[in-house]
Amino acid sequence: MARDLSPALVAMRLGELRASYVAETAEEARGRLDREGDVERRKEPLARAAARRLAELHALCELSDYLHRRAT
């Protein structure tokens, strides 16, 4: 799956990223996450969180492999 790297499209994507970027310290980020209600997930035991993230990574790898096979 080829990505369009034309200068105009890249500039548009960078503009979208620039508009959504918020500079914050680690402490400010923790406060924002607390306000957004992600506290329960952060209380998840390390082993369970690692297993969940590993499963997500595995699923992304499978998706990437599938997309690569379809593109070639």
What pLDDT, on a 0 to 100 scale, did the predictor assign at position 41?
63
The three-class DSSP label of residue 5 is coil
Residue 4: pLDDT above 80? Answer: no
What pLDDT, on a 0 to 100 scale, did the predictor assign at position 2?
52
What pLDDT, on a 0 to 100 scale, did the predictor assign at position 59?
93
The Cα–Cα gap between 24 and 22 comes to 6
User: What's the pLDDT tens digit per position in 16-67?
Assistant: 989 988 899 999 988 888 888 765 666 778 898 899 999 999 999 999 998 9
